[in-house]
């Protein structure tokens, strides 16, 4: 697994919108934040484009692919930061051009729909950052959600301590971090772009799904044999799950009923499971390095890098 080189003052970070539409004012503060960290944001041609085609995309598939491949292959660009997720990254997989990028690896930063592009990066042997996008969401974002990303860009590999949830399955296990948004992990099953699960630590998070849909995705992972392959599971944010008028925990970052469904589905498996990890569509969205080898201690709530 290749870890892109650390950035230096003045390094250029490409800003692209590979999926949903974003407005200038929704990313202006984070562009200023990048500048305040002594990096230079360079905007893709269609970063604030708009195309209504059953969904508000930032551009046509051709336009979004053009921006992605520019960011991947321009030798002056040292990192790529997605403005947001939404829907549309799957459109880009077949035209993903890694020719020059493999000679000049660079960090790709994003989460949510960006999970599919990070799966592709993993297949190419290049680590990426599953972390906060540039658009500020309705639930806000903690300062550390961004500061931790900048630390990784400068060469750090973070360690984590987090609350021990009552549903945790205790144990210690190692593996490379894979996964991301559960709906996309599920959507890639059976395709050439599916997540590599074997011996790895699977991370999942989700937002806005009905409980039956959550269970359907878990069942598909089970039918695909995923739970027989992974070394451990890390569960992050589960927010806005079910229906607002029937779920008293609708706004909870770590919806307890969603956690109940997951723990019930995993009852027959013995691998360690850690809930309530601070990553996902939540206020405290700490970045994970997809592809980095970590040791999970679900008994004590720690996640420590092993690639140092």
Q: Is residue 181 part of a domain?
A: yes
Give the mean pLDDT of 69-74.
97
Inform me whether the pLDDT recorded for 42 exceeds 70: yes
Query: Are 110 and 86 a contacting pair, CB within 8 Å?
Result: no
pLDDT one-digit tens code per residue, 253-276: 999 999 999 999 999 999 999 999
Query: Are 91 and 68 a contacting pair, CB within 8 Å?
Result: no
Whole-structure pTM value: 0.97
Q: Reduce the DSSP state of residue 296 to 3 states and report it.
A: strand
Query: What contacts 168, CB < 8 A, 6 or more positions away?
Result: 272, 273, 274, 275, 298, 299, 301
pLDDT confidence of residue 308: 56
Distance between CA atoms of residues 146 and 64, nearest Å: 25
pLDDT confidence of residue 118: 98
pLDDT confidence of residue 124: 97
Q: Is residue 2 part of a domain?
A: no
pLDDT one-digit tens code per residue, 155-172: 999 999 999 999 999 999
Query: What contacts 221, CB < 8 A, 6 or more positions away?
Result: 185, 186, 189, 227
Q: Is residue 4 part of a domain?
A: no
Distance between CA atoms of residues 34 and 13, nearest Å: 8
pLDDT one-digit tens code per residue, 3-24: 999 999 999 999 999 999 999 9
Q: Are residues 147 and 168 in the same domain?
A: no
Domain boundary among 130, 153, 176: 153
What residues are labeled active site? 112, 205, 281
Report the domain count for the chain. Answer: 2
Distance between CA atoms of residues 10 and 138, nearest Å: 31
Give the mean pLDDT of 87-107.
96
Q: Is residue 113 part of a domain?
A: yes
Q: Is residue 168 part of a domain?
A: yes
């Amino acid at each position: 697994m290749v870890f892109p080189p650390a950035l230096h003052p003045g390094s250029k970070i490409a800003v692209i919108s590979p999926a949903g539409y974003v407005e200038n004012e929704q990313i202006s503060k984070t562009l200023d934040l990048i500048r305040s960290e002594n990096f230079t944001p360079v905007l893709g041609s269609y970063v604030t484009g708009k195309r209504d085609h059953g969904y508000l995309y930032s551009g046509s598939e051709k336009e979004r692919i053009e921006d992605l491949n520019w960011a991947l292959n321009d030798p002056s660009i040292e990192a790529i930061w997605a403005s947001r997720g939404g829907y549309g990254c799957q459109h880009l997989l077949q035209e993903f051009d890694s020719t020059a990028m493999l000679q000049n690896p660079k960090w790709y930063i994003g989460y949510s729909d960006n999970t599919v592009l990070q799966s592709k990066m993993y297949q190419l042997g290049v680590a990426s950052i599953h972390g906060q996008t540039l658009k500020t969401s309705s639930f806000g974002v903690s300062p550390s959600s961004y500061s931790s990303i900048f630390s990784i860009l400068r060469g750090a590999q973070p360690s984590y301590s987090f609350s021990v949830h009552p549903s945790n399955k205790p144990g210690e296990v190692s593996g490379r971090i894979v996964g991301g948004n559960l709906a996309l992990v599920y959507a890639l099953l059976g395709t050439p772009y599916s997540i590599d699960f074997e011996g790895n630590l699977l991370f999942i998070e989700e937002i806005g799904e009905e409980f039956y849909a959550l269970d359907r995705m878990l069942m598909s992972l089970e039918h695909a044999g995923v739970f027989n392959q992974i070394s451990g599971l890390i569960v992050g944010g589960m927010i806005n799950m079910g229906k607002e008028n029937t779920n008293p925990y609708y706004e909870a970052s770590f919806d307890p009923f969603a956690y109940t469904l997951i723990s019930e589905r995993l009852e027959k498996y013995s691998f360690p499971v850690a809930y309530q990890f601070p990553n996902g569509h939540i206020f405290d969205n700490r970045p994970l390095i997809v592809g980095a080898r970590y040791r999970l201690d679900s008994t004590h709530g720690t996640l420590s890098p092993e690639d140092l």
